[in-house]
Amino acid sequence: MLYASTGILDANLICVEAYLKAYHPEFEVIIIKGKHKLSIRNRLKALISFFTAYYLIVDHAIPRFLTNNKRKIYNVWHGIPLKTIRHFDDKRFKESFLDFESKNLNGLVCSSMLDMAVMSACFQVPPSRCILSGLPRNDLIFQGQLEWYEDAQEALLIEQLQGRKLVSWMPTYRGSWHENNEITGFSEPNECQLLDFLKANNAVLGVRPHKFSRLQPFPLLEAEGLLLDLKEYNVTNTVLKHTNILITDYSSVWLDYSIISSNICLYLYDAQLYDGERGMIYPLNTVFPGDISYDFNHLLMALNQSMASMGNNSPKGSALFFKYRDNNNTKRFVEAILDEKNS
């Protein structure tokens, strides 16, 4: 069973679902999304599925009525955390929730030895319960099609781009997850300068808000047909696959993108305010390989440099964060959990 506790099927779960259906038809794959109102009948069916499933794979939280007694529970999480999470951010969580999760996790996906150490500490699980497979979703970031997965929305994105370069703006959220705060990183004069930059480089700006936030409008870009609303695309890594330059902030999305490109602009326009809001596991200036922009003028210079160097970068993804740089992460994860049953 795959359980999306936030109500949205995470890309890691999407990959696991597709791989299981392609290569393990002996399993019935059941998907349940949290935060969805169900009829009494469907609620009963969901509960029966929960209690009879041997494998439960979650993207965030375990249902509080389930334990790992008579079943195996795995967490594929979201990505490589840069910000403090779980026990490192215990002011945001009840102690009972954190302890329940730690006690009942049989496996936790990790991307490198460093990531394993951090995730082990954040979730308070022993390293022996960490599965060093790489994140399933990073299978989707490479050019070409996987034999076992095709994103039906990819053709639409290519059509919308119309041969233009894609500059993606993907910031994380601010405040609490339930506040749905607007992210305002650009002034009207900034938008005018972005307009000139995009026109000069046959590019469009794609904006993708975090699911716990919304982004400011860009009326000038929209009027010129140079704005793409990327929130309609379900899989972020499909968008990254077609992104020429990524602009982000404190989000770990740049780590995924670093596997295929070094055209990354970190834009920390509200660094002083944000530093007091969330703690960071890694100081960004020590792990980010390029310059960090703290104002728009610096960002614009970084954008021009990235555009000028396009095609000449040699992305690898730091060995600190990636043991594997291939599209076999989902395979390794599935094989690891199946091997546990057979061992």
Does 222 share its domain with 127? no
Same structural domain, 160 and 134: no
In this structure, are 235 and 265 located in the same domain? yes
Q: 245-248 and 264-267: which strand pairing?
A: parallel
281 within domain boundaries: yes
Same-domain pairing of 195 and 299: yes
Q: Tell me: do 292 and 334 sit in the same domain.
A: no
Whether 225 maps to a domain, the answer reads yes
- One-character DSSP codes across 256-270: HHTTT---EEEE-TT
Alpha-carbon distance of 290 to 277, in angstroms, equals 24
Q: Is residue 313 part of a domain?
A: no
Helices and strands in the chain, H and E counts: 13, 14
CA–CA gap between residue 206 and residue 85 (Å, rounded): 28
pLDDT in tens, the chain (343 residues): 999 988 888 999 999 999 999 999 999 999 999 888 889 999 999 999 999 999 999 998 999 999 999 999 999 998 999 989 999 988 888 999 999 999 999 999 999 999 999 999 999 999 999 999 999 999 999 988 899 999 999 999 999 999 999 999 999 867 555 666 677 789 999 999 999 999 999 999 999 887 665 778 899 999 999 999 998 899 999 999 999 999 999 889 999 999 999 999 999 988 777 665 667 899 888 999 888 999 999 999 999 999 998 877 677 789 999 999 999 999 999 999 998 765 5
Q: What is the pTM of this model?
A: 0.91
Amino acid identity, residue 221?
Answer: L
Domain membership of residue 123 (yes or no) is yes
C-alpha span between 327 and 343 (Å, rounded):
26
Based on the domain organization, do 169 and 281 belong to the same domain? yes
- The whole domain housing 33 covers 2-141+326-342
Domain count, the chain: 2
Same domain, 114 and 235: no
| 296 and 166 assigned to the same domain | yes
Per the domain annotation, does 30 fall within a domain? yes
CATH of the domain at 87: 3.40.50.11820
